Amino acid sequence: MSKESKTKEQLLEEEARLRQRIAELEMLEAEHRIIEDELRQSKRELSIRNEIISIFLTTPDDEMYAKVLRVILKHTESQYGFFGYIDQEGNLVCPSLTRDIWDQCQVPHKNFIFPHEQWGGLWGQSLKEKKTLYSNKPLPVPEGHVPILKTLIVPIIHGTKLIGLLAVANKAEDYTPQDQTMLETIADHIAPVLHARLQRDRQEAERQRSEEKLRESEAKYSALVEQAKDGVVIVQDEVFKFANKAMETLSGYSVEELIGKSCLDIVAPEHRDFVAQRHRLRLQGLPVPASYEIKMLDKNGAKKEVEVSVGLINYQGKPAITAFIRDISERKRMEEELLKIQKLESLGILAGGIAHDFNNLLAVTIGNLSLLELEISGYGDTASELLEAIKTASYQAKRLTQQLLTFARGGAPIRKVVYVSNLLKDAVNFALSGSRVKCELIIPDDLWPAEIDEGQISQAIDNIIINAEQAMPAGGLIRVWAENVTVEPTLSLPLKRGEYVKISIQDQGVGIPEENLPKIFDPYFTTKQKGAGLGLSIAYSIIKKHCGYIGVESELGVGSVFHIYLPATREKISTAPSGGVSEEKFCCGWGKILLMDDQEMIRNMAGQMLTRLGYRVEFASHGEEAIRLFRQAKESKDPFCAVILDLTIPGGMGGKETIQKLREIDPEVRAIASSGYSNDPIMTEYQKYGFKGIVSKPYEIKELSEVLHKVIMGNEGPAQTFG
């Protein structure tokens, strides 16, 4: 059968086959198209993915988010969008909102951070549900916000953890499931790199925070250690591994010199064994006290008292010792000072007791001597000379007891306006009697008077001159001069501005070593075998009480100069300068005097003086007796014209209480206080207590006559009421 002769059936069959073939080809073509589409899609995804990854790898944070967003917007053909990540606190942080949105958006708070609790709208829902959402209908937006007509939102999930969000909006056409798939695929690509990047950022931030903390704490500790006044060291294997700045001052070595040095090198030899043993025991973990006091040896070989507080640490992987070293030399010195003062106080009490009795005996001696002097006038030179010698010795004894009494009571000076010239002459004569040392005294005629307690200042000057003399065992010259000075604050003296009489006492003696200079005014400081170390401390305390100043300059082997400043006054001097004893100068009187003193010898001596001066005398040995006699005399219309009351009556009523009672009987009573303690506050401020005058024991007839005259004649100045 030929081709032409094919049957109709055959033809129909062929046609069917052909149709089938066409359909198959069409299907193949469709499949081919799909594959092609998929290939294109997958190529596109690959290119997006590569683009994004390259951005992640090459772009710094601040630009990365914006760049990635730009790629996504391009591929999703969207107008706006944002790309954010979830921070450690769980908030959404958007380093990139599309610049257009940013510019066009009028919302007041264009925050980059959206706190978790404020997540809202479609993007909030997507975040909360970790689900892709899209809408092709306009969304409600706050006023001023760009209009969102269509949007597609995809959360970025790593593992199961939400780590970010991609959102795009306003594509010209509707968003399709293909768009969703594409954006989800992009999100899947971004997830691991974003996660890695966030992890890295977090670790970096963490590291920076710890570094910052470490730096801060290091700075804090090094400031603490470096600014500490105490020395701080780390010692390992007995050598210094670390030392702070304060250690330089403390040890005299620089920090560089200290590092590597044996710690025992800066310990005084007598304490080295002790320190080494402590060190050993501590390192063995045995219980040893955490702090101790030792002597340290500095670079110059000087010893310092230090307190060491020690601890055990691990330093560079090995046990080491930290030590805080405090200089306690000053504290020790203060403690010693306090001890000295306490000793001095107890000495004062003891000395005071002895000196008081001794002074009363001297009062009798000196008083009687002054009477004897009157008796023997005309007995010839020998008698006068002998008497003079006794007087000199008695006056030396008087000064000594006064010295002790000043210490015992340490009271305020009883000031009088005087020229220091006579006082200086007397002091020099007294201190240098019998000495090989010569003295040159230079006093200008126009020297201002000073308001001082003569007894006390003489004592101070005596002490200085005696020291000067002792400093020149082979003899020499002491120069004493006085001058007027005006102290201005610029002179940097510890004195108030004003006028002063300056007394300088210069010797050519051994001089004072520099290290002793700060100590010479300390009580008990002496370099002499038989010295008590009291002379200068007494001088110092006296001059201080006069609101003056004492200073010293000295050069070894050349000599020393002591300078004393005493407040000057322009007041006229009321009392006549002291001269020799002569009866013409006594102020004789009349009338009856009551003398109260517990010592019979004094009563006798003063009684004789008073009789000699023309007065009648009655005696009382204590306050009660004095009051009785005073009252009797008043009632019998033969009252006393003055009373002299001893302030201290052991076991009885003394002058202070007696005067009160006498004033009750007669408010106008003319009373004189008498005491060996010239520094007693009652002697200094007698008027406050109701007395009209004072007489310090020991006294001579002349002094007694003057004070009686003054009190009886009523020129003692305005009387003050007591109480």
Ligand X SMILES: Nc1ncnc2c1ncn2[C@@H]1O[C@H](COP(=O)(O)OP(=O)(O)OP(=O)(O)O)[C@@H](O)[C@H]1O
Distance in angstroms (rounded) separating the CA atoms of residues 480 and 562: 10
Distance in angstroms (rounded) separating the CA atoms of residues 11 and 193: 65
Q: Which of residues 56-75 bind ligand X (CB under 6 A)?
A: none
As measured in angstroms, the least distance from the Cβ of 554 to ligand X is 7
Among 202, 528, 616, 628, binds ligand X (CB under 6 A): 528
Among 119, 242, 481, 525, binds ligand X (CB under 6 A): 525
By C-beta, is 72 or 471 nearer to ligand X? 471
Among 373, 453, 462, 507, binds ligand X (CB under 6 A): 507
B/e letters for 523-532, b = 16+ CB within 10 Å, e = fewer, are: bbbbeeeeee
As measured in angstroms, the least distance from the Cβ of 616 to ligand X is 46
As measured in angstroms, the least distance from the Cβ of 497 to Mg ion is 32
By C-beta, is 91 or 463 nearer to ligand X? 463
By C-beta, is 464 or 673 nearer to Mg ion? 464
- Residues lying near Mg ion in the complex (CB under 5 A): 467, 535
As measured in angstroms, the least distance from the Cβ of 380 to ligand X is 39
DSSP reduced 3-state for 198? helix
As measured in angstroms, the least distance from the Cβ of 464 to ligand X is 7
CA distances from 650 to 69, 621, 699 (A): 110, 10, 21
485: tokens are 């000075």
Please report which helix (H) or strand (E) contains residue 307, including its range: strand 303-315
Task: Classify 83 in phi/psi space as left (phi over 0), alpha (psi -120 to 50) or beta.
Answer: beta
- Spell out, one character per residue from 623 to 662, where the chain touches ligand X: x when CB under 6 A holds, - when not: ----------------------------------------
By C-beta, is 3 or 530 nearer to Mg ion? 530
Window contacting ligand X (CB under 6 A); options: 116-124, 279-287, 462-470, 583-591: 462-470
By C-beta, is 524 or 722 nearer to Mg ion? 524
Among 365, 456, 467, 599, binds ligand X (CB under 6 A): 467
Question: Is residue 161 exposed (0-12), middle (13-18) or buried (19+ Cβ within 10 Å)?
Answer: exposed
Window contacting ligand X (CB under 6 A); options: 49-57, 136-144, 444-452, 524-532: 524-532
Radius of gyration of the chain from its Cα atoms, rounded to whole angstroms: 54
Determine the residue with CB nearest Mg ion. Answer: 535
8 A C-beta contact, residue 166 and residue 71: no
DSSP reduced 3-state for 94? strand
Q: Tell whether residue 509 is a contact of ligand X (CB under 6 A).
A: yes
Window contacting ligand X (CB under 6 A); options: 148-156, 193-201, 241-249, 467-475: 467-475
Among 355, 452, 534, 550, binds ligand X (CB under 6 A): 534
18: tokens are 């052909």
8 A C-beta contact, residue 707 and residue 674: no
Distance in angstroms (rounded) separating the CA atoms of residues 511 and 508: 8
Q: Which of residues 537-556 bind ligand X (CB under 6 A)?
A: 537
As measured in angstroms, the least distance from the Cβ of 526 to Mg ion is 7
By C-beta, is 47 or 516 nearer to ligand X? 516
Distance in angstroms (rounded) separating the CA atoms of residues 318 and 649: 77
Can you point out the beta strands (E) in 403-544? 416-418, 438-442, 450-452, 477-487, 498-506
Distance in angstroms (rounded) separating the CA atoms of residues 264 and 86: 61
Distance in angstroms (rounded) separating the CA atoms of residues 378 and 178: 151
Name the strands in the sheet holding 303-315, side by side, starting at the edge strand that comes first in the sequence.
239-243, 231-236, 318-327, 303-315, 291-297
Among 243, 452, 471, 708, binds ligand X (CB under 6 A): 471
CA distances from 64 to 51, 84, 101, 124, 184 (A): 12, 11, 18, 23, 19
Q: Tell whether residue 680 is a contact of ligand X (CB under 6 A).
A: no
As measured in angstroms, the least distance from the Cβ of 274 to ligand X is 33
Among 68, 243, 437, 536, binds ligand X (CB under 6 A): 536
As measured in angstroms, the least distance from the Cβ of 531 to Mg ion is 6
Distance in angstroms (rounded) separating the CA atoms of residues 55 and 52: 5
Handedness of CA 679, 685, 688, 692 (dihedral sign): positive
Q: Tell whether residue 601 is a contact of ligand X (CB under 6 A).
A: no
Asked if the bond preceding 698 is cis, omega within 30° of 0, the reply is yes
By C-beta, is 471 or 712 nearer to ligand X? 471
By C-beta, is 172 or 474 nearer to ligand X? 474
Window contacting ligand X (CB under 6 A); options: 18-26, 335-343, 503-511, 659-667: 503-511
Among 370, 401, 560, 678, binds ligand X (CB under 6 A): 560
By C-beta, is 455 or 652 nearer to ligand X? 455
Residue 471 site contact among Mg ion, ligand X, none (CB < 5 to 8 Å, cut-off depends on kind): ligand X
Contact footprint for ligand X (CB under 6 A): 463, 467-468, 471, 507, 509-512, 520, 525-528, 531-537, 560
